[in-house]
Each structure stands twice: as structure tokens, then as C-alpha cells.
């Protein structure tokens, strides 16, 4: 699929650069909405606008939903009133929820006014929940029966169109509260007069609408079903979380973590305006500059030592680099453990001891190697001893920091993936330089 998208991108850009030359790619109808979204996001802004004109109108809403926020808004900004009116002419509640933040408020109101009462109710229920709650994104295509129904009622219902990811029927009481789930496979051999309550899957627990998206996706994986029911206040059945939604949440979560390590947002457009991208990255560069000045100030404290022993200046990057790599390995492991809910106060100390042991073992091993190399290089056993001790100290400090920094940031509700690496780099640089230059001052002068 990636090769096909790459070919479409090349053709689109060549056509935009030379309208009379390369033909446009084959019809977008051959692509899925998420493929079209990826293609559009991969084009410079002008080419993106031209390509949008060739997207079939019936796919507009699905493609916009599949796009990242900034890329979507880059298109919506150029919609005239007629195009917007066509877009919202037949939106369902789930699609409008996805697009609402990118649309003017008056356009959302018009879209709501055109919905039937059922879809409008779905939208209003979903809009009560914030962006990080599963209740906002529930799927309303599900098969529901009163809890006093019998097998024959379920069999009659299944003769109609069955939504995707359907392996259960959901039971509700007369007020709409969730009362149970009936596996469709259980209906095949059951007597037609049997009450559905006798076939309920007692192990299937519903998700509360306020559950955070990542937690909901994690619970979905453990449930091993095609969909989970989502309930709101007083157990009211709001909809379901299908496998498709769980996959999207996990994908977006991991993408957000990856982008956060560089101080970026997962919604950022690949071809966002230069000034906007510069402002965002400037903040992160400024934070890194402050930490670099702190490391430089630490080195400046040992200016006299460096003037007399130039070898220390040559070897300083080795100490900082070894600590940084060791610390980043531990940091990555701990961030993953926190994301998966594997780290608690109960296993914190054993984990800390384990990482310190790993750091100590690797520290001693590589300290011996680097110490021997430095001794031969500068014909000084004392320099070898100094850098070997500094390596052991810095790798141990890196292991300790790699465990504690993300845990502390998590306690303060700060994303460790966003700022953990910056703090860790500062700690390993400062500790490494102080240990190396301090020992050099004590042992060599």
C-alpha cells in the first residue's frame, strides 16, 4: 500500500508542477478514505487543494475524519459556503463529533438542525464527554433488544442488516439501561422460546463513558471481543466500542508518544506553514538551550583543570555519551511500563535495584575498556583511572535517573515522553562532567 501511495504522491506533485504534462492518478474511488487522507497529507498545500477537487463528494466526510487535525483544517479553510453546505448535508452523529472542532459553530448548528431526532440525541450525548473519554466516540450501530426478549426475537432481528464487528446482541431495560450481552453464536442451538437472559455472557463488563481512551483500548484488548458496550449515567447504554475504534486509539496514542519525544503534536501537518512550525520548535529548542548552558556552566567550573590537562577536554564527550545512552535505554523501558500500567509502588524498588544492577555491571565492563584505551592513548594510567571511575558513576546515575524521572513526572501529571529525555540528558551531562572533571582535579593535579 505504501508503494501505491508513493506513486500517487509523485504523480500528483508532477501534475501540479506541470499541469499539461503528467496525467492525474487513477480515480480516487480505487482508494480507501484513510489512503486518500494519507495521500492528501503528503502533498504541499497548493497540490493538496488541487487534489481535493478530484475526491468524490460522497467520500469527503470520511476522508476529512481520517485526516490529522491541522491538515483537515488546511482544506476546510478554503471551503466556500456551498461546499460546506454539501459536506454537512447528510452527516451522522459520529462524523459530526469528529469534525465539530474544525468547523465553525454556526455550521455545526446547521448540521444538527438537519439531523433526525435520533442522530441529534446521539450527538448531544457524545458531546457531553471530553476529547479523551470513550463516551465521545461511541459507535451507535448496534443491535439492541429489550431484556425480556426471547431467542425468536433475536433471530428475527438478525435477518436485518448486521453491522460490522457484531458478535453480541445488547439487552436493555425499559429505561435504556444496559442489562447484558448475548453471544450470537449461542442463538444457533437455542430453543426459540428461551429467554435471552439465560444466554447472557456474564464475563462481559461494559465500559464507563468517562473512561480514558487509552485505558478503554487496553481493556478492549483484554476482553478479546469484537465490540464492548459503553454505558453512561445510571448504566444507560450509549453505544459500543468496536475493534476498529480500539485500533485507531492505540495507533494515535503511540504516534503521540513518538511525536512528544521531539516536543511535537501528533496533529501537526507535514506541510504546516513555516512560521507556525518554527514557533513550536523554537520553544523546544529554547528549553534544550537552557539545559546546554547548564552543562556548559558545569564545565566552566573546572576551567583551570582543563587548561592544564587537555586530555580531559578530549575525553569529556565519551563520559556524557555513555551516560546518555544508558539512561535513554532505561527511560524508554520505564515509559513503556508506565503506559502499560506495569509499574506500581509495589514493584518500584525491585525494578530500581534491577536497573542499578544492570547499570553497575555495564558501567564496570565499559569503564575497564575505556580506561585501558584512554591509558594507552594518552600514555597515562591516571587518566584511564579517572575516566573509568567517571563512567561507572555516570552510568549508575543514568540508571537511577531513567527510573525515577518518568515516575516522578507521571505523579505530577506531566507526560514523561515529552520532557523525560531532556531532563535525563541534563542529569547525565552534569553528573558526568562533575564526576570526570572533579576526579581529574583531585587525582591529576
Chain centre distance of CA 398: 26
Provide the percentage of residues in the chain whose pLDDT is more than 90.
64
For the chain, what is the mean pLDDT?
A: 89
**What does the pLDDT read at residue 313?**
92
Hey, how many other C-beta atoms are within 10 angstroms of the C-beta on 343?
20
* The pLDDT of residue 25: 52
Distance (Å, whole) CA 331 – CA 4: 37
The answer, as to whether pTM is greater than 0.95, is no
pLDDT of residue 421: 87
CA atoms within 13 A on the CB side of 415: 14
Per-residue pLDDT of 337-349, as tens digits, reads 887 778 988 899 9
Q: Is the pLDDT of residue 382 over 90?
A: yes
Q: How confident is the model at residue 21 (pLDDT cuts 50, 70, 90)?
A: very low
* The pLDDT of residue 138: 97
> Could you read off the pLDDT of 65-113 as tens digits, one per residue?
999 999 999 999 999 888 899 999 889 999 999 999 999 999 999 999 9
pLDDT at residue 254 is higher than 90? no
The confidence score (pLDDT) of residue 133 equals 97
Least confident residue range of 83-92, 258-267, 307-316: 258-267
pLDDT of residue 22: 47
What are the CB-based long-range contacts (under 8 Å, 24+) for 286-293?
287/263, 287/422, 288/422, 291/422, 291/425, 291/426, 291/429
Task: Look at residue 194 in the predicted model and tell me its pLDDT.
Answer: 96
Share of the chain above pLDDT 70, in %: 94
Domains of the chain: 2-130 (1.25.60.10), 144-260 (3.10.580.10), 274-444 (1.10.357.20)
Amino acid at each position: 500500500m505504501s508503494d501505491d501511495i508513493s506513486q500517487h504522491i509523485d504523480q500528483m506533485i508532477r501534475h501540479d508542477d506541470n499541469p499539461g504534462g503528467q496525467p492525474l492518478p487513477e480515480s480516487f474511488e480505487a482508494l480507501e478514505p484513510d489512503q486518500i487522507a494519507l495521500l492528501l497529507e503528503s502533498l504541499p498545500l497548493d497540490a493538496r487543494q488541487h487534489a481535493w477537487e478530484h475526491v468524490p463528494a460522497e467520500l469527503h466526510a470520511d476522508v476529512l475524519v481520517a485526516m490529522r487535525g491541522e491538515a483537515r483544517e488546511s482544506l476546510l479553510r478554503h471551503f466556500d459556503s456551498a461546499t460546506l453546505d454539501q459536506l454537512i448535508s447528510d452527516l451522522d452523529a459520529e462524523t459530526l463529533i469528529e469534525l465539530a472542532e474544525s468547523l465553525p459553530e454556526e455550521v455545526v448548528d446547521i448540521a444538527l438542525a438537519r439531523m433526525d431526532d435520533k442522530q441529534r440525541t446521539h450527538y448531544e450525548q457524545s458531546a457531553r464527554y471530553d476529547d479523551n473519554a470513550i463516551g465521545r466516540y461511541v459507535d451507535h450501530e448496534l443491535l439492541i433488544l429489550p431484556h425480556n426478549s426471547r431467542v425468536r426475537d433475536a433471530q428475527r432481528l438478525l435477518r436485518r442488516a448486521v453491522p460490522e464487528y457484531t458478535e453480541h446482541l445488547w439487552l436493555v431495560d425499559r429505561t435504556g439501561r444496559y442489562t447484558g450481552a448475548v453471544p450470537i453464536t449461542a442463538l444457533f442451538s437455542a430453543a426459540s422460546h428461551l429467554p435471552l437472559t439465560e444466554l447472557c455472557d456474564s464475563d462481559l463488563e461494559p465500559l464507563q463513558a468517562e473512561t480514558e481512551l487509552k485505558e478503554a483500548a487496553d481493556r478492549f484488548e483484554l476482553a478479546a471481543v469484537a465490540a464492548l458496550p459503553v454505558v453512561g449515567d445510571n448504566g444507560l447504554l450509549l453505544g459500543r466500542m468496536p475493534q476498529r475504534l480500539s485500533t485507531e486509539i492505540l495507533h494515535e496514542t503511540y504516534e503521540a508518544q513518538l511525536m512528544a519525544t521531539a516536543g511535537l503534536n501528533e496533529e501537526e501537518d507535514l506541510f504546516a506553514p513555516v512560521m507556525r512550525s518554527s514557533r513550536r520548535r523554537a520553544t523546544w529548542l529554547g528549553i534544550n538551550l537552557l539545559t546546554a548552558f547548564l552543562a556548559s556552566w558545569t564545565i566552566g567550573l573546572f576551567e583551570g583543570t582543563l587548561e592544564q590537562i587537555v586530555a580531559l577536554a578530549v575525553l569529556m564527550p565519551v563520559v556524557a555519551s555513555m551516560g546518555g545512552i544508558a539512561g535513554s535505554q532505561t527511560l524508554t523501558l520505564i515509559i513503556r511500563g508506565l503506559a502499560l500500567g506495569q509499574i506500581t509502588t509495589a514493584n518500584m524498588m525491585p525494578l530500581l535495584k534491577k536497573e542499578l544492577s544492570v547499570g553497575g555491571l555495564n558501567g564496570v565492563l565499559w569503564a575497564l575498556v575505556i580506561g585501558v584505551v584512554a591509558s594507552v592513548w594518552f600514555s597515562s594510567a591516571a587518566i584511564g583511572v579517572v575516566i573509568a571511575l567517571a563512567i561507572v558513576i555516570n552510568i549508575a546515575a543514568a540508571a537511577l535517573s531513567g527510573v525515577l524521572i518518568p515516575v516522578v513526572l507521571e505523579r505530577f501529571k506531566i507526560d514523561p515522553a515529552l520532557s523525560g529525555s531532556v531532563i535525563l540528558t541534563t542529569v547525565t551531562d552534569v553528573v558526568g562532567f562533575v564526576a570526570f572533571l572533579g576526579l581529574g582535579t583531585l587525582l591529576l593535579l
